[in-house]
Structure 1
Amino acid sequence: MNIDFEKIDAARQARGFLPISQMMTMLEGNLVLDPFSTLISSGVSFGKDNVLYPGVTLQASAGTTISLGDANILYSGTLVSSTHGDVAIGDRNQFGEGGFTAKANRPGAEIRIGSHGRFLNNPSVFGETVLGDGTQILGNITVDTCTLGDGGSHAEPDPDLRGGLLKGQGTARNLIVPMGHVIAAQGSFFEDDMLPQSHFHPQK
């Protein structure tokens, strides 16, 4: 079967994405499992040893950037979009399984994600949001203009030294979750419901 790369690349470019050959050159030193279903625009930059599963989309509009460090895993259904502000991502994060969305898509928006985080089961991140080192969002949660504090990763033996955590489903807006704390909710997330992570994971 002959593949018409010209038509494929023309369709990609019509939507602001790089042709496959340019994308693969950009991603040298990274692992792309399915180039045909991976969509990357100019304005996106990568470190090395990142893993991109099928169905990953990273789109930076003119005047904005999306940057990734090293050794991140982007599972299928990962979408990162910058139309009004930059998105900066550190090292060794896990996006998905189950999908992940980050959109800096309104005036003043900027999203910064540290290193060693886990963001699973379809969370969506918007606004002026900072997800520090070791932070986690576990569940179908809309996170708008929140700060999760730096800490150890989910593998840190002392749960109260891990990065800030949101888990459950619903909407979290204008919240600050410090190191070692968690808000678990089904619906709306409130700071009054914050607990130490050791409440759910007592040390043995």
Structure 2
Amino acid sequence: MNSLLQKIDAARLACGFLTVEAMMEVLDGNHVLDPFSTLVSAGVAFGKGNILYPGVTLKTSGSANLTFADNNTLHAGCLFEASLGDILVGSGNCFGEGGFTAKANRAGARIRIGNSGRYLNNPGVFGETTLGDGCQLLGGITVDSCTLEGGGSYEEPDPDLRGGLLKGRGLARNLTVPKGKVIAGEGGFVQADLLPQSHFHPKT
């Protein structure tokens, strides 16, 4: 068994990831459901109470930082890569189910994610993007250098007080979505299609 673990650790180190033991030290105080399918680089920092499902990859290189606060849930198929810019994640977010990707892997990239957001069904986030508190990405959306303004979470009773929302599929680039607003796209997203979230979720 020790020989097998040595081989696993050697492969991880060769690809720029921590050994299983070193990873578990970094993730102390969090819930790693399958350490052998979880990959974490040096340079990743964690708070407490985060849940990592099998098949999560957290990769850094150079001087870039990848930081998580507390009580986030990372479902299977989540990939975070900070190579040419930082990725900073707040608390209480849900990434996946259905996958999630965030890459700060080009010049000028920086991704900031607030608290209590939902990012489901395989969205991808790139460039200089800010997702404020309570924001949501729902669907296979490529989000490139957008700002979604913060507000309440999806549990906020008044939908027009929730964080900005993109839902559907396609490319969203250089957009700003204010608090309480949504753009629903099917192949592409444009600023002119902004609607109040109550358009889809009438107030009671």
Q: TM-score, normalised by structure 1?
A: 0.99
CA shift, 1:63, in A, is 0.6
The aligned amino acid for 2:96 is G
1:62 CA displacement: 1.6
**In the alignment, residue 92 of structure 2 is paired with which amino acid?**
R
Counterpart-to-counterpart distance in 1, 2:189 and 2:57:
28
Partner of 1:65: 65
CA distance in 1, matches of 2:29, 2:195: 41
State the alpha-carbon separation in 2 of the partners of residues 200 and 129 from structure 1. 25
Hey, what's the Cα distance between the residues in 2 that align with 1:186 and 1:172?
Answer: 11
Q: Which runs of 5+ in 1 are unaligned?
A: none
Give distance in 1, aligned partners of 2:170 and 2:4: 44
SS in 1 for 2:13: helix
Match of 1:139 in 2: 139
Q: Distance in 1 between matches of 2:81 and 2:26?
A: 18
Offset from partner CA, 1:3-57 (integer Å, 9 cap, x none): 6111100000000000000000111100000000000000000000000000000
How many residues are paired up?
Answer: 204
Aligned partners of 2:62 and 2:84 also within 8 Å? no
SS in 2 for 1:22: helix
1:6 aligns with 2:17: no
Alignment of structure 1 residues 157-168 onto 2, 5 Å: 157-168=157-168
Computed over aligned residues only, the root mean square deviation of the Cα atoms, in angstroms, reads: 0.8
Structure 1 residue 89 displacement after superposition: 0.1
Report the AA paired with residue 203 of structure 1. K
1:191 has 2:198 as partner: no
Give the secondary-structure state (helix, strand or coil) at the position aligned to 1:171: strand
Unmatched tracts of structure 2, length 5 or more: none
- Name the structure 1 match of 2:98: 98
The normalised TM-score by structure 2 is 0.99
Aligned equivalents of 1:188 and 1:140: distance in 2? 11
Matched position secondary structure for 1:59:
strand
Q: 2:94, 2:153 → 1: CA distance?
A: 11
Helix, strand or coil: the match of 1:152?
coil
Paired-residue identity, %: 64
Secondary structure in 2 matching 1:18:
coil
- After superposition, where does 1:67-86 map in structure 2 within 5 Å? 67-86=67-86
**Residue 102 of structure 1: SS of its match in structure 2?**
strand
Provide the C-alpha distance between the structure 1 equivalents of 2:89 and 2:53, rounded to a whole number of angstroms: 17
Alignment correspondent of 2:169: 169
Identify the residue that residue 24 of structure 2 maps to in structure 1. Answer: 24
Counterpart in the other structure of 2:118: 118
- Give per-residue Cα distances to partners, 1:107-128, cap 9 Å, x unaligned: 0000000000000000000000
Give secondary structure in 1 for the equivalent of 2:79: strand
Distance (whole Å) between structure 2 residues aligned to residue 28 and residue 10 of structure 1 = 22
Separation (CA, whole Å) in 1 of partners of 2:88 and 2:193? 29
- For 2:33 and 2:182, the matched residues in 1 are separated by 34
Aligned counterpart, 2:56: 56
Query: How many angstroms apart in 1 are the aligned matches of 2:3 and 2:175?
Result: 49
> Which 4+ residue blocks in structure 1 deviate beyond 2 angstroms?
none
